[in-house]
Structure formats: C-alpha cells, structure tokens
Amino acid sequence: MHSSKKVLLVFLPSESGVDGARSLYSENEKNNNSIFSWFNRSFRTIIKQSQFAIPPLSLMILSSIELEGIEQSICDMRFEEFPFNKQWDLVGISVQTGMAKKAFALADTLRSKSISVVLGGPHVTLFAESCRSHADVLVLGEADDLWKEVLTDLTTGTIKPLYQSESFPDLAHSRPVMKTSLIKNRYFTTNLIQTGRGCQHSCDFCNVHVLNGHSLRRRAISDIVAEVARFKANDHRIFFFVDDSINADPAYALELFRQLTFLKIRWFGQATTTLGQQHELLETFARSGCQALLVGIESLEPNSRNAHKKNQNKAGELSLAIKTIRNSGISLYGSFIYGLDGDTLDTPATILDFISDTRLDVPGINILRPIPGTRVFERLREEGRLLFDPLDITAYRYTFGQEMLYSPKNIPLDAFIESYSALTRQIFTMKKSIARGIEAPSSKPAVLLFNLFYTHLYSLSRHDLQQQLKKKPMEKTILPYAE
Ligand code: SF4
C-alpha cells in the first residue's frame, strides 16, 4: 500500500498592522532596551494574545480539496515555525507583494533541502517571472480548480512547472470549505465566508479588479446557507463575510441574508456606503445579525475621487449614508486615504469634521500605498513620484501608515507627514477612543479594542514617519524589519 503524499500550505505574517505592530526603525538594533521598544514589544504580545488574527481563507479553500493519496495541512507562520522536522512532498506558499522577499527566502531554504515548492497568490499572479527562480511550480490566478490539478499530478509524478487557467473559476459550482486544518482557538473567529469575487469598479489604487476581474461571480445561495449552518455547529463565534462589497449585488444579498436570518448568527462584513440608500437591504442586514461593517470612504474630496476613479458614490452623499447605516444599529469602520491627488493641507480638517459629524465608530486613516500592478503605481512611476526603486517591487511593502512610498501631488513630503501625524494624533487620543467604544451602536467591546489598538499603531506610524524624514527617504534605502 502506498503512503499518502504530504502537502503543506504556508501562510506568512504581514509585519505591520495587527499581525506585526512593530517599528521599522527602533527595534532593528539588537538589545534595544529603550522604553519605546519595550512598550512596543509588550503591546505586540497583547495584540497577538487578543486573537485578532483571522485564518487565511485562500488556504482554507485549497486545503478543503480532498483527493485520494493526498494529506494536506496548513502552517500559519503567525503562530508557529515552519515544521522542518517533518517530511513534506510539496509545500505551497501564498505570496503577497511586500512579503515576497520572506517567501522567496523560505522557498530557497526548502528547495536547498530538496523539498518541492509551489508559489501562488497575488504577487505570483502579477509578477510570475520574478518568482520563477524560487519555485518548482508556479500557480497563476485563482487556484480553486488549478490546485486539484497540481495535487492530481503530484500523485502520478507528473507535476508541471506552471499551472494557469484561461478563465476565472465558476463559483456557482459547489466547493464546500472545511476548517479541519485550523487550530480554532488561535483566531478571532474561524467562521469566514466568501459569497463571491470580482468588482465592477476600477479604483486605481486597488488590485481586486485586476486580480479577480470586473464581473461579479457569485456562489450559490444554498451552498452558503449550508456552509454557515455547518460552521456554526462547531464555532459559535461571530461570522466574517470577507467580500470586498457584500452589497454589490443588492438582489442577491437581500435573498442571501433573508435566508440567513433564520440561522441567528452575528456577523461582520465589508460594504460600500451605497448601503445607506439601499433601505430594504440595510434593514435585512440588521435583522440577520450584522454587527459592524467596514466601508471604504477613501476621500471626501471630489477632485481626489475623480483622480483615482472612486466614482461609485458621491462625496456629498457620504455623511447621510454613514448616519443612516449607524442608525440601523450597525457600527462602522470607515477607511480614509489621505494624500490622494486632489488632497491639500485643508483635507485633514474636512476629515475631522466628517468624523465628528457622523460619529464614525472606528476611523482608519491610511496613506496611499501604490501597490505594484495597480494603475496608480504605473502613473506615479511615469510621473517620477515613487520614493523607492520601481524595479524592486518587493520594496512596496505593507505597513500601518509607517512609511511614505511616494510624493503627494499637492503637498511637500515633510508638510504632508506633519499634517498626517497631526490628524492621527487628534483622532486617536485615549479619551476619544474610549468615547467611540461607548457610543458605538453595536459590538462596543470590539470597537473599543480597535480604537485602543489604533491609538498605539498610529503612534508607531508617527514615530516611523519622522524617522523616515530624518533619514532622507529619497535615498531609496529599504530598512529590514526587526526579527
Ligand atoms: S476599492 Fe473597493 S470598489 Fe474600488 S475597485 Fe477595489 S474592491 Fe472595488
């Protein structure tokens, strides 16, 4: 009898935000015992223990594919070291831009030990050539069906160097997601549901429409309802609908959440502010257990919205939409980007007024991050506004507002950093964070926790941006993160 082939799917941590919460600068020196570093390390431990992490959905989906002769497991490196002490027939690594150097280093180590490596994920899909020398196999695009082919070829010894399909997977085909490879208590919740993929909009700073296409592909409602019921049976925690815009297809969402109402779940999700005008859907969301939504406000400046093709709703309609959604009993995380091409030094005052007028529960104040592969990255490159070498795409890493990657159009870099820092300092005082937690229409403890974490994370952001200024960002030096 043949033994099964052992396949490991690896997820790497991002080194900023709630996964990392580390300074790019102060913690790099070994034995750094400054109070700032000590405080940051302590806070990082608290954040980890608060179980803010959610499982990697893409790996949950791939590990759910069952095939005779294959045993799959997941290694989430936010919580564990790579298990070098076991034998692996194949290791798959999901690669995001910004973590690519780390993924390549792991892949190179594994291959030096004669372990075959598959690389896949957004970075590999967009920049396959730069990944080729680090992998035995590349998987390009959404891997739902391709992964089954890889596993089948592994069992027959006919694995190929490249797997790529001509079209996006049809999500209407039933593909039940299993959670058996996850250690439940590591995560905030394991109840992750995706109802579809793709986005009809074309915001130039976003890569969702680049990676998942412009048309909405939906799963069958009956599949989702069955999945929610199955997940709920072994984890009573909150559900997270991970779709970028859960209200993008209002008729579909209305029917789905009508049916889910009977399962009596509580859920978080992400929506567009258009929900404020979709009254029947908003009422159904509230009735079906929606506790909180993340909405992409991005900009209140009409010039910025036009410059970055954020056209799906108008700046003047945002305030009423936010108030309407909050009045239905749903808390809101509102995500802004400051530093867009129509922004000026007056923009922070507009954001502050908006937050106090709408009583937004968790404001997220982001800096534009030009992700390689997006239209904005290409435009900034052509305009000579990128601060790092555009050919070194892995330099465009994710941080929590800790690093400028480009020069704003209308504001000198140093003035921008001063005004961004002043803005986050005014929004995230301890007093205001606690007040927002108390006043939230629902999920008060989560809103409070997010605000307190952000109070800390934005202080890291201010610290690091000042350091970047001091070190002259134009030098194009890329500092490593502390280990
Ligand atoms: S930012 Fe949101 S609405 Fe815009 S393209 Fe990305 S997913 Fe679509």
Q: Give the chain's domains with CATH numbers.
A: 5-164 (3.40.50.2300), 189-471 (3.80.30.20)
Task: Report how far residue 395's alpha carbon sits from residue 93's, in angstroms, rounded to the nearest whole number.
Answer: 19
The residue contributing the CA closest to ligand 1 atom 3 is: 201
Q: How far is the CA of 311 from the centre of ligand 1 (A)?
A: 10
Residue 292: closest CA among 175, 149, 444: 444
Task: Judge whether 300 and 324 are in contact, CB under 8 Å.
Answer: no
Q: Which atom of ligand 1 is nearest to the CA of 298?
A: 1
Q: How far is the CA of 312 from the centre of ligand 1 (A)?
A: 9
What secondary structure does DSSP assign to 231-285, as a single string?
A: HHHH--S-EEE--S-TTSSHHHHHHHHHHHGGG---EEEEE-GGGGG-HHHHHHH
Task: Report how far residue 476's alpha carbon sits from residue 34's, in angstroms, rounded to the nearest whole number.
Answer: 27
Task: Judge whether 331 and 447 are in contact, CB under 8 Å.
Answer: yes
| This prediction's pTM | 0.91
Task: Judge whether 265 and 288 are in contact, CB under 8 Å.
Answer: yes
What pLDDT is attached to residue 395?
Answer: 86
pLDDT tens by residue, the chain, 483 residues: 568 999 999 999 876 655 556 788 765 544 566 666 666 666 666 666 555 788 999 999 999 999 999 999 999 998 899 999 999 999 999 998 878 889 999 999 999 999 999 999 999 999 999 999 999 999 999 999 999 999 999 999 999 999 998 899 999 999 999 998 899 888 889 999 999 999 989 999 999 999 999 999 999 999 999 999 999 998 999 999 999 999 999 999 999 999 999 999 999 999 999 999 999 999 999 999 999 999 999 999 999 998 888 877 777 889 999 999 999 999 999 999 999 999 999 999 999 999 999 999 999 999 999 999 999 999 999 999 999 999 988 888 888 899 999 999 999 999 999 999 999 999 999 999 999 999 999 999 999 999 998 999 999 999 999 999 988 544 444 443 333
What pLDDT is attached to residue 13?
Answer: 84
Q: How far is the CA of 118 from the centre of ligand 1 (A)?
A: 29
Q: What are phi and psi of 246, to 5 degrees?
A: -70, -15
Task: Report how far residue 257's alpha carbon sits from residue 261's, in angstroms, rounded to the nearest whole number.
Answer: 6
Q: How far is the CA of 66 from the centre of ligand 1 (A)?
A: 33
Q: How far is the CA of 209 from the centre of ligand 1 (A)?
A: 7
The residue contributing the CA closest to ligand 1 atom 4 is: 203
Q: Which atom of ligand 1 is nearest to the CA of 244?
A: 7
The Cβ of residue 262 has, within 10 Å, a number of other Cβ atoms equal to 10
What pLDDT is attached to residue 477?
Answer: 41
Residue 146: closest CA among 129, 127, 159, 130: 159
CA 134 from chain center: how many Å? 24
- Which of 210, 212, 244 is the best mutation target for the ligand 1 pocket, counting ligand atoms within 8 Å of the beta carbon and taking the most? 244
What pLDDT is attached to residue 185?
Answer: 87
- Which of 203, 274, 293, 337 is the best mutation target for the ligand 1 pocket, counting ligand atoms within 8 Å of the beta carbon and taking the most? 203
What pLDDT is attached to residue 211?
Answer: 93
- Which of 206, 243, 309, 340 is the best mutation target for the ligand 1 pocket, counting ligand atoms within 8 Å of the beta carbon and taking the most? 206
Strand order across the beta sheet in which 137-140 lies: 70-76, 5-11, 90-94, 117-120, 137-140, 162-164
Task: Judge whether 341 and 307 are in contact, CB under 8 Å.
Answer: yes
Q: How far is the CA of 269 from the centre of ligand 1 (A)?
A: 14
Ligand 1 neighbours by CB, cut-off 6 Å: 199, 201-203, 206, 208-209, 244-245, 296
What pLDDT is attached to residue 480?
Answer: 38
Q: How far is the CA of 310 from the centre of ligand 1 (A)?
A: 8
Q: How far is the CA of 406 from the centre of ligand 1 (A)?
A: 21
Q: Which atom of ligand 1 is nearest to the CA of 200?
A: 8
What are the angstrom distances between the C-alpha of 275 and each of 265, 283, 284, 344?
20, 10, 11, 29
Q: How far is the CA of 200 from the centre of ligand 1 (A)?
A: 8
What pLDDT is attached to residue 108?
Answer: 98
- Which of 200, 209, 297 is the best mutation target for the ligand 1 pocket, counting ligand atoms within 8 Å of the beta carbon and taking the most? 209
Q: How far is the CA of 143 from the centre of ligand 1 (A)?
A: 21
Burial category of 419 from C-beta neighbours within 10 Å (exposed 0-12, middle 13-18, buried 19 and up): buried
The Cβ of residue 2 has, within 10 Å, a number of other Cβ atoms equal to 6
Question: Crossing angle, helix 250-260 and helix 279-287, to 10 degrees?
Answer: 20
Task: Judge whether 225 and 263 are in contact, CB under 8 Å.
Answer: yes
What pLDDT is attached to residue 28?
Answer: 53
